Amino acid sequence: MALNLTMLIFLPIAAGLLSFSLRQAPARKNLGILVLLAALAVAVTSFILTPGRLSIHLLDEFALTFDHNVIAAFIMIFINLFGLLVCIYAGSYGEDKKEFYSCLLILIGAANLTVLAADFLLFAFGWGTMLVLLYALLFRGSHETARKAVSIVGTADFMLLLGIALFVALSGSTLIPADGEGLPIKTPLQFLTFLLLFAGAAGKAGAWPFHPWIPEASTSSSMPVMALLPASLDKLLGIYLLARVCTDIFVLSAAAMGVVLLVGGGTVLFAVMMALVQKDARKLLSYHAVSQVGYMVIGFGTGVPIGFAAGLLHMLNNAIYKTGLFMTAGAAGKEKGTFNIADMGGLARFMPVTFVCALIFSLSISGVPPFNGFVSKWMVYQGAVEGLLDAKGVVLPAIFVIALIAAFFGSALTLASFIKFIHSVFLGQETESEGPAPSEARVGMRYPLIILAALCVIFGVYPALFMDHAVLPWLPEAAISVGEGEWNALLAFILLAAGLLVGLAVVFWGFVRSKIKVSSAYYGGQEASEEINYRATEFYKTLQEISLVRKFYGVIEHKLMDMYRVLTLTLELVGTLLYYLVDRLIDVFTTLAALFVLGVGNGLKKLHTGNLDFYLLWCLLAMVVILFIIAG
Amino acid sequence: MSILVVAFYFTIIIPLAGAFVLALGSDKDRRFMASLVMALTFLCALLTVPVVLEHGEIAVSYPMTEWFSLSFVVDGLTVFMAVVSSLVAFVISLYAGEYMAKYSNLKGFYFWMLLFVGSMMGLIHSANLALIYVFWEMTAVASWRLIGFYRGEEDVKAADKAFLVTFFGASFLLAGIAVIFANYGTLELSELQGVAIPTVTALLLFVGIISKSAQLPLQTWLPDAGVAPSPVTALLHAAVLVKIGIYVYARLYLRTFEPSEVFLSTVLTVSVITIIVGAASALVSTNIKRILAYSTISQLGYIMLALALNTETALKVAFIYILAHSLAKAGLFLCAGIVEHETDKKEISMLGGLLKTMPRTGLAYMLCAFSIIGIPPFLGFWPKLMVIILTARAGYIAAAVLAAVGAVFTLFYLLRFFSEVFLGKVRTEAAEGKKSVMVYSVLFLGAVSLLLGLLPNLPFDFLNMVIK
């Protein structure tokens, strides 16, 4: 364990601090790559060779304990892998400031610490440290967005801390349970504790309503920052916690499932609707980053093992293709000098590698087989159906149905959205722009894309790589049904590949054997010109004109669902009330008390006239009073 | 080792004697000598550590009358408080050297400042209730003169308010002490140990404590006292003075008397209300010092909450909280002081964009703010989380919830402060000094908050060693 701690936590943090003092950008990048390669190697080794437990005593029952579990070890591999890929990518992207590399390395150290934590104190420490680094990274782009992000995620973090406190009160120990036998949720206190821990996880993962900072950050921060945090690390850790909450910490009750499913379904639909109308590639991807969390959340909300497995697999898959998508958008945007998708068309011919990768990522996120997104989405549906069949009563099955519809509908809209994305950015006609003609992404940006695209295919064709080695050994019930309804990825891949080959053969045959006439495009008998060109960005404009949808966008426009705004207004309202009704009121009483004392003093002072007759009068009055008392 | 036993005397004598000796020199001498006196005081406080490690506890007593004696104690609580208070006081004295340079005739300032620190050290080590009361009032007089240092109408009014409110509380404290003497015939803490104190008497003493530590409903003097020079605000209202009440509470109710359940519930209720009202008021305040003063009120509520749980673990957590808060809040007040010193403005609406001209002050502010909010890896995180956990474990779920809500308020008001003062539109060209001791002082406090947060076993091990 000592080696693990050194290589996975202290080394990245030390390198992060050292990186700050390095003057040359390549040196910072190389240091980062070297350290993260070493960390990745140790993460892989620790997955194979289980290290021991280590504990540092703090105070009485409080200690900091490091331990190792199979799912955490697997997640750690991807934390370091994503860190490494972003580190390579960032150098070529031009994100080579010393703060970036420092934050990246320290962030990886903190993330490793979080998953290595076996007690809540240490877990919260690593978890919260990432908040400071999030602030530092976003601060460089926009101060206001950084403030918003920290306010929202910080609130979620404090909800998590309270959840931890309540759970410790319930269980009597600060250790995170690891035996897969969670507490049943029966009492209101247990339900509240569950909700708080769930909020902490959802806050980190960026689920609705904790999402508003992500789209804003996408336009103010660089793509490597987005690829690192909202796309990969936040999802990995948020869903990792959710997985622990739903298995090791609690056994979900019907009410808990209902809440999780509703948040999941709501997140899918809300974010995908928002994504559909975005004109900026970065914002579009950000809303999808939010939307995809919904699937993972639904997976855990099903309460069945296959749902949990689906949630975890989708977390990993999403991190792969979403990081890739942010990277492709970054590469394309860098070439065109804009992220406005209306101005980006026709890049495929200049950036074929980037295009193919973007296509793979887009198909993956849209849940098209044989890519990884399909497998995990399929499992989510399977889990939801299984959960629905198990659900009792009326309300929970209804919620299951709503979540299923949201998931299906969301998937269709995701595909629609990515048709728009791919068409606008890479296909269609090339838009005119100043500056040199676009060219393929640089090597440092290309290779991370290729690796991630390859992972999309590998995990799509061979999901057992993750399932058999990480998920099944960890799940409390390893009996995930294999049989009817089970997605046979390999067979599907062979069939699809065969279909693709046949298709290519037909095309090839057609080109070689037939003479193809190439002519201009026509709309309604008129030759297509720039004026009547129907841009992909306008694909779903009609959708916005539907009354209900228009109202939805109206509510969003007025920020009525913006958690930051709601939180700020609520706190200010409560603050004002308490300030005036308690603090100022007490101050008024304090002042009145002082005035009363002064008044009494002044009154008594007036009695001291210095006039002898006056004093004698007082004596006489006093004697009369005494007389009455004695007599009476 | 035997010679070190007397080290604690010097933590009291050096600043008290220094106060009178410094009255003789020039302002320039005073600036340097005051820091030297504080450094020596800190050194002497450090020398008491090995004494406690070896002997555990030392008590000395010189009886004077039936009820009054010069009784002193050196134990884990005194060592921790003396080291923390004198360290922060030393950093503040360095800061004050530069901050107060633009004012003349600083005889009074340094006299009262050193007298205050000496009285504080005396109070920490006192083991007789009457002696505690004497030092208690000495700190009140010193802070009265220091708060009203500028002698303007508003300053004098605020100083009078602080003095009168704390004196009002102190009169209850005195009444409580009198009742104790009437009932038990002694004011020696060593002889009162284990006594089950009646709730009413305990409450009498508690009124005195909350007046000093600015807990509701005797808190309103603290925000008003922000008119004082910033080193004074930092010393009195963040680092040292307000901790007196907390310390005396710990000494009386966790080391001497056995408080009743009713009393502890009252303390718990007061502390939770203070957390929320203090934090809420900080959110709507617009004066930089008032925001920080309300923040202090709220944070002291957390310490009081820990103490109300009445366990040894909670006591230790409260002391780590005192350390974290003293460092970070002194840092915040001193940052506000730099802003005020360079811009002559206190209202956040008149400030903005200072990060451009005061980057190091801004950085120090953020380091200290994160610690106060309770975000890792800063020191403030550990005690805040532990307080909330311990409160929940003791079964006070509502209190734990409100403590967490208070933390969310803290996050919002300290971020708002930073955004309004250091970010946004530049409203003033004022800049921090390049080689300013003031800036280094705040950076030091921020860096220590971070370092101890990263290595929490250092303060916890120290505490475990001295408090057994």
What's this model's pTM, rounded to 2 decimal places?
A: 0.89
Q: Which of A158, A578, A586 sits opposite B276 (nearest CB)?
A: A578
Percent of chain B with pLDDT over 70: 99
Q: How far is A166 from chain B (nearest CA, A)?
A: 6
Element (H, E) at A66: strand A62-66
- Report, as an integer, the average pLDDT of A248-264: 90
Tally: H helices and E strands in chain B: 20, 2
Question: Are A143 and B423 a contacting pair at CB < 8 A?
Answer: yes
Question: Are A168 and B415 a contacting pair at CB < 8 A?
Answer: no
Checking if the pLDDT of A11 tops 80, the result is yes
Q: Which two tokens stand for residue A60?
A: 């009485």
Q: How far is A8 from chain B (nearest CA, A)?
A: 16
| Confidence grade of residue B263 (pLDDT, cut at 50, 70, 90) | very high
Checking if the pLDDT of A135 tops 70, the result is yes
- Report, as an integer, the average pLDDT of A59-70: 82
Alpha helix locations (H) across A223-351? 223-228, 234-244, 254-276, 281-301, 305-336
Question: Are B457 and A166 a contacting pair at CB < 8 A?
Answer: no
Closest residue in B to A159 (Cα–Cα) = B404
Percent of chain A with pLDDT over 90: 27
A590 touches chain B (CB under 8 A): yes
Question: Are A161 and B407 a contacting pair at CB < 8 A?
Answer: yes
Checking if the pLDDT of A616 tops 50, the result is yes
Closest residue in A to B425 (Cα–Cα) = A143
How many Cβ atoms sit within 10 Å of the Cβ of residue B391?
A: 29
Q: Which two tokens stand for residue B300?
A: 């002291």
Q: Which of A60, A572, A583 sits opposite B313 (nearest CB)?
A: A60
Question: Are B404 and A129 a contacting pair at CB < 8 A?
Answer: no
Question: Are A158 and B400 a contacting pair at CB < 8 A?
Answer: no
What is residue A55's DSSP assignment?
E
Residues 6+ apart with CB under 8 A from A44: A77
Q: How far is B416 from chain A (nearest CA, A)?
A: 8
Contacts of B456 in chain A (CB under 8 A): 58, 64
How many Cβ atoms sit within 10 Å of the Cβ of residue B167?
A: 18
Contacts of B356 in chain A (CB under 8 A): none
Q: How far is B417 from chain A (nearest CA, A)?
A: 11
Question: Are B404 and A165 a contacting pair at CB < 8 A?
Answer: yes
When mean pLDDT is compared across A374-383, A571-580, B371-380, the lowest value belongs to: A374-383
Percent of chain A with pLDDT over 70: 91
Checking if the pLDDT of B288 tops 80, the result is yes
Checking if the pLDDT of A390 tops 90, the result is no
Closest residue in B to A571 (Cα–Cα) = B409
What is the Cα–Cα distance from A225 to A104, expressed in whole angstroms? 9
pLDDT at A514: 66
Checking if the pLDDT of A432 tops 70, the result is no
What is the Cα–Cα distance from A290 to A275, expressed in whole angstroms? 9
Q: Name residue, tokens 């359940």.
A: B261
- Report, as an integer, the average pLDDT of A235-264: 90
| Confidence grade of residue A482 (pLDDT, cut at 50, 70, 90) | very low
| Confidence grade of residue A483 (pLDDT, cut at 50, 70, 90) | very low
Q: Which of A129, A166, A579 sits opposite B400 (nearest CB)?
A: A166
Q: Which of A129, A577, A590 sits opposite B376 (nearest CB)?
A: A129
Per-position b or e across A163-187, b if 16+ CB within 10 A of its CB: bbbbbbbbeeebbbbbeeebbebee
Q: How far is A259 from chain B (nearest CA, A)?
A: 21
pLDDT at A484: 45
pLDDT at B316: 93
- Report, as an integer, the average pLDDT of A53-73: 82
Predicted interface score ipTM higher than 0.85: yes
pLDDT at A162: 95
Checking if the pLDDT of B63 tops 50, the result is yes
Q: Which of A168, A586, A594 sits opposite B164 (nearest CB)?
A: A594
pLDDT tens per residue, range B304-360 = 999 999 999 999 999 999 999 999 999 999 999 999 888 888 888 888 888 888 899
| Helix/strand/coil for B69 | strand
A601 touches chain B (CB under 8 A): no
Q: Which of B273, B283, B415 sits opposite A147 (nearest CB)?
A: B415
A165 touches chain B (CB under 8 A): yes
What is the Cα–Cα distance from B144 to B158, expressed in whole angstroms? 9
Considering all CA atoms of chain A, what is the largest pairwise distance in Å, rounded to the nearest integer? 138
A545 touches chain B (CB under 8 A): no
Closest residue in A to B214 (Cα–Cα) = A583
Contacts of B406 in chain A (CB under 8 A): none
Q: Which two tokens stand for residue A590?
A: 């304090």
Helix A188-205 to helix A120-139 angle (10° resolution) is: 40
Question: Are A154 and B408 a contacting pair at CB < 8 A?
Answer: yes
pLDDT tens per residue, range B89-143 = 999 998 988 888 887 778 888 889 999 999 999 999 999 999 999 999 999 999 8
Q: Which of A151, A168, A590 sits opposite B412 (nearest CB)?
A: A151
pLDDT at A533: 62
pLDDT at A558: 67
The more confidently predicted of residues A19 and A539 is: A19
When mean pLDDT is compared across A299-303, A521-525, B207-211, B310-314, the lowest value belongs to: A521-525
Chain A / chain B CB contacts < 8 angstroms: 148
pLDDT at A529: 67
Contacts of B221 in chain A (CB under 8 A): 590
What is the Cα–Cα distance from A429 to A342, expressed in whole angstroms? 11
Average pLDDT, chain A: 85
Contacts of A576 in chain B (CB under 8 A): 284
pLDDT at A4: 74
Residues 6+ apart with CB under 8 A from A541: none
Contact B221, B213 (CB under 8 A): no
- Report, as an integer, the average pLDDT of B428-445: 84
Mutant choice from A58, A145, A174, A197 vs B, greatest count of B C-beta within 10 A: A58
| Confidence grade of residue B205 (pLDDT, cut at 50, 70, 90) | very high
Contacts of A220 in chain B (CB under 8 A): none
Provide the chain A residues 58-117 that lie in CB contact (below 8 A) with chain B: 58-62, 64
Residues 6+ apart with CB under 8 A from A488: none
How many Cβ atoms sit within 10 Å of the Cβ of residue B280?
A: 28
- The Cα-based distances of A237 to A113, A430, A588 in angstroms read 11, 40, 50
pLDDT tens per residue, range A98-126 = 788 899 999 999 999 999 888 999 999 99
Q: Which two tokens stand for residue B122?
A: 């005396």
Question: Are A147 and B419 a contacting pair at CB < 8 A?
Answer: yes
Residue boundaries of the structural domains of chain B:
1-259, 260-468
pLDDT at A274: 86
What is the Cα–Cα distance from B36 to B32, expressed in whole angstroms? 6
| Confidence grade of residue A273 (pLDDT, cut at 50, 70, 90) | confident
A129 touches chain B (CB under 8 A): yes
When mean pLDDT is compared across A227-231, B175-179, B336-340, the lowest value belongs to: A227-231
